[in-house]
Structure 1
């Protein structure tokens, strides 16, 4: 019996191993059959595989998956994170396909222990409204999510409060604002003064902007003598007149934390208000004209098995190559010569003991490559390090499996060190200066989380971890006291995403943006729930896969104060691997294809609404593993082209055509 960690693409056994390991599985039994648990607690959960005669299948491999932010299952335990009613899905391979079992999981919150009120900045003058938030915590200090409080004012004629915690000063005097939830209360005292503001001076220089362009909202409140009223809150809003009134969209713009961005073309009137005083600024938003044609130039066809990751590299022989992994492909990795991306040629294949090579990577100097192992016959897994001295025909230099027995799903390589994720539990740092003798250096494991992906930038390891969010660790930057030998936690940004992550330093603004992808393979409860492809996943033909989730964008310039600023969201598809280079996002969007997006300048709002998409291509091939079914796994820029792998049809190369000027009649 094996309880595996939640994964949004279930990793099934290779064809030969399936038959040997779990062909006799006929049914699954969970103990307990229904899980009732409190958030923050753990309890035992086992799933046993039986054959048709009722005998236990000792080597029947069982996977248990579920919503990452709700609970995690590992080593015979389920740990709950968030209250709600959920389903844990157990799967094992039977004689005629997958055998599944749904396990109800009911998570409740522990008793609320403390409430804290946080107010927006500024003084409460008459005519001014100030927003308030309330945060709750349990006895162990863990946060209460989704808290709803009841608000009241001790003197409603002086200061009123609505059900959202917005307090408005009505006349000079004192009042106590109280928030209450589940019998726990918090208070905030106010002394309301007469509003001295008589005018607002705006400092916004822009007149014409592009959709998605960020405008900083600068304004100063002054009294009748012209003096600045520093503590007077200023509230921003806007009115909108669309370019095309018959096709006017909803949510045309965004005002947040002192900034504004338009999602759509049109005329926006920005309004700065303090009490009964208002100032106006009119902006014209024009379309962001970035669309370019994308043309396929070459193929490295793979249609006998599913394709996973890719990594291009410059060979020591002066030619360019691409390492490609396979999913459920009995441990084969492929090597392609991509020097001429109009004529891609396979040069070799490498066979290792694995069910799936989900991730492949190459050091920046092209000295070594690495294959990630999952489902090895001896269950040891680990990584296989390749010597790229002869880049067209790599040779196995060594294997490394210390602390990596849970299966390696993702990796990150520098010239001297390899970061490898072990069974979704932690990442292990390996010294690969001598690729024939790799050495264990250190590791980092974040509590109560499931790690899926990590990238290292400027000595900081950024990882996407379900149950936690974006975890930032000093692995050599030094500013926070960490080294490669002794990693040290910097901060955690709690976000409902725990799959892909990419840190990007934007030269034009000096900001560090984190792009985090959801990857949700279960679309249950949505208007379009998708297709039921699981019974045919990893087999020729079958049903086209579907996905959900999107890319979150977090400003992590100051790792101690990160902030979510935007997203790239298309409802009918789901995000996978992410690369950003020269202000362009190369997004593998599964059944949404490969998508190339302009991410120049400050970012705010949904990039998909702002006409930032440069090009989209959905690969189709009637001879593919699943015919004419796009499912892009990875995308990377390489020497003026776009390389991407499709789960069903292998390696593709494309180019963006030069932008043409529109012809004016």
Structure 2
């Protein structure tokens, strides 16, 4: 009887419990694929008893990371670069609720293929210790996080420990070898003196401003008083904030007195450097405004000889406005060209101002490409041609450039293939393709976003591939518009640089090299970075934000570009830049409109060293999106900055002179 009661109670209890729901089983459970390779995902539906449910239709959909990879509905993942590709798996069964589950595919660097050591000295003195900083990369140029194993051909002369600390022991020669799997690097060092008898240093300037670069003349002598040449000391400084590189270039961020120390073997020497504040901050005046409320605002461009601006639209605007800016305080729309384009993302005129080109990026009929207009009446442009050949995927950016030898060409980006198309524009209303070039990588990870051309060199912002420099007429590699040739590339670890963005909004976020501008021996590159998900629970645009860094790339040795300085706003991102004189102008998305002093040599953190000159928050209640800044870019002429904000239209801003210092009042 008690058994019967127990059985009945058990049955009733089981009937009261809800049935276990069907589940998705995805294989592999923790998917990892080498960048630029493929991976097959599979899935099945299991019932409450762990049995396969027949007849389920399963699809795989990308849920982010669209520039870094792709996934086919069948589950084939195509990895284009390192990063994380979120995938949503959807299972549908007749008469049952749809199941969804998310899996994250980690796309990692391939096997180690190369090791480089930058800035390591080749001549040392006895007792000197230097940390070797190797960079390990895959065959595709992706940075790896490996611990290099070191060995020395002559441990009596020099050794390297597991942390890369190089110690010079005695006079002689040693070959140091670093190894990661099959990748190796060698570095030869010569220890030239048993010890240093005397060491002194002299700064290139005893006083300067924050942000200035100061170098030091080092004098080393051995115990007999003979000069020791070709050796590099270790550097340090105190107190305050700043940076000192391996070559002894010191940049201080705060005003005050710094003690810079050079150490060579067992000897040290100090020098005093005094820094004054950079003092470049200036007031700004908004001279004129043209609010836009119907659509978002895209690119702005100025006619080269007339007081006319051209302004693009987005969010389905399908038009480019012509604006009379004769009266800067009252810009007036005089005309527009309406085209099936969704967004007019970029605009540029020919150097003579007789024609104009603007982009199509989202045409409903897929006839994207570019539109060419005659500026015979510059206030009332008239379309004279379309060019869509091979460009159905859309065009994000264009650049018009004229060379004496080759004439005028349009350099444009192909959204569909990630290639640069070079268009012969010598007959303006009859353009034709001159060349097509793209980086050697899978289509899934190739994306070209912007182009700058100067002195016969094209500087391409190649998203996952970083900065790519082509010879299109300079002669350094024998290139021309019809035969572009690779000069060099600067590729960096976007995933590591923007770890905070993934932490804030999850994997699959937008990040890549977006724009570039050559100025003197530098190329300024800006990354476009947005989180994968908005702020939870937020109700409007003011809660969202962009991220991103502006890097300063030293191209004095154009075959070996290197990053030497950077800027990140305290809040917001970076987008398009413009350089005039020694001033860099920036559209910084949520960070508004910014200008910077870029005079002299650049090293370290530009914001920390007080190089910012002007900041205008371009949020406006009269806009397509109210009370939120989304500054796109800027064009500068005659001391006025024409600033386009995606959310609220055109601003005309003047950087005013610095106020005169107040004189002390004289008391009678």
Partners of 1:299 and 1:186 lie apart in 2 by 58
What is aligned with 2:462?
465
Does 2:436 correspond to 1:443? yes
Partners of 2:449 and 2:619 lie apart in 1 by 28
TM-superposed deviation, 1:466: 2.0
Does 2:511 correspond to 1:504? no
Partners of 2:64 and 2:485 lie apart in 1 by 30
What is aligned with 2:284?
294
TM-superposed deviation, 1:621: 1.7
Does 2:531 correspond to 1:522? yes
CA shift in 2, pair 1:346/1:37, >3 Å? same
Asked if structure 1 preserves the Cα contact closer than 8 Å seen for 2:369 and 2:387, the reply is yes
Give the TM-score taking structure 1 as reference length: 0.80
Tell me the C-alpha RMSD between the 2 structures: 3.6
Partners of 2:88 and 2:581 lie apart in 1 by 41
What is aligned with 2:414?
422
In structure 2, stretches of 5+ residues that fail to align are 1-25, 43-54, 90-99, 403-407, 495-511
Does 2:28 correspond to 1:38? no
TM-superposed deviation, 1:484: 1.1
Partners of 2:30 and 2:266 lie apart in 1 by 57
Q: Deviations over 1:237-290 (max 9, x none)?
A: 2122x5xxxxxxxx4333343311111111111212211222221110110111
Q: Deviations over 1:420-465 (max 9, x none)?
A: 1111611111122222211111121112232111100100000011
Asked if structure 1 preserves the Cα contact closer than 8 Å seen for 2:171 and 2:194, the reply is no
What is aligned with 2:9?
none
Does 2:576 correspond to 1:559? no
What is aligned with 2:214?
215
Partners of 1:31 and 1:436 lie apart in 2 by 55
Asked if structure 2 preserves the Cα contact closer than 8 Å seen for 1:128 and 1:233, the reply is no
Give the TM-score taking structure 2 as reference length: 0.79
Asked if structure 1 preserves the Cα contact closer than 8 Å seen for 2:170 and 2:194, the reply is no
SS of residue in 1 equivalent to 2:661:
coil
What is aligned with 1:15?
none
Does 2:513 correspond to 1:513? no
CA shift in 2, pair 1:572/1:87, >3 Å? farther
Partners of 2:492 and 2:379 lie apart in 1 by 42
Asked if structure 2 preserves the Cα contact closer than 8 Å seen for 1:500 and 1:578, the reply is no
TM-superposed deviation, 1:72: 3.5
Partners of 2:343 and 2:458 lie apart in 1 by 25
SS of residue in 2 equivalent to 1:81:
coil
CA shift in 2, pair 1:168/1:282, >3 Å? same
SS of residue in 2 equivalent to 1:414:
strand
Asked if structure 1 preserves the Cα contact closer than 8 Å seen for 2:125 and 2:264, the reply is no
Partners of 2:243 and 2:277 lie apart in 1 by 13
Partners of 1:119 and 1:595 lie apart in 2 by 33
What is aligned with 1:656?
655
Superposed, 1:177-576 pairs within 5 Å as: 179=178, 181=180, 194-240=193-239, 242=240, 251-315=241-305, 319-415=306-402, 416-423=408-415, 425-448=418-441, 449-496=446-493, 498-506=512-520, 512-522=521-531, 531=535, 545-576=544-575
Asked if structure 2 preserves the Cα contact closer than 8 Å seen for 1:455 and 1:462, the reply is yes
Q: Deviations over 1:152-179 (max 9, x none)?
A: 7799887554443011134568988665
Q: Deviations over 1:596-623 (max 9, x none)?
A: 1110111111110111111100112223
TM-superposed deviation, 1:648: 0.9
Partners of 1:593 and 1:167 lie apart in 2 by 46
In structure 1, stretches of 5+ residues that fail to align are 1-29, 47-53, 57-61, 91-99, 243-250, 507-511, 525-529
Partners of 1:389 and 1:114 lie apart in 2 by 56
Does 2:120 correspond to 1:120? yes
CA shift in 2, pair 1:134/1:656, >3 Å? closer
Partners of 1:300 and 1:437 lie apart in 2 by 34
Partners of 1:156 and 1:466 lie apart in 2 by 44
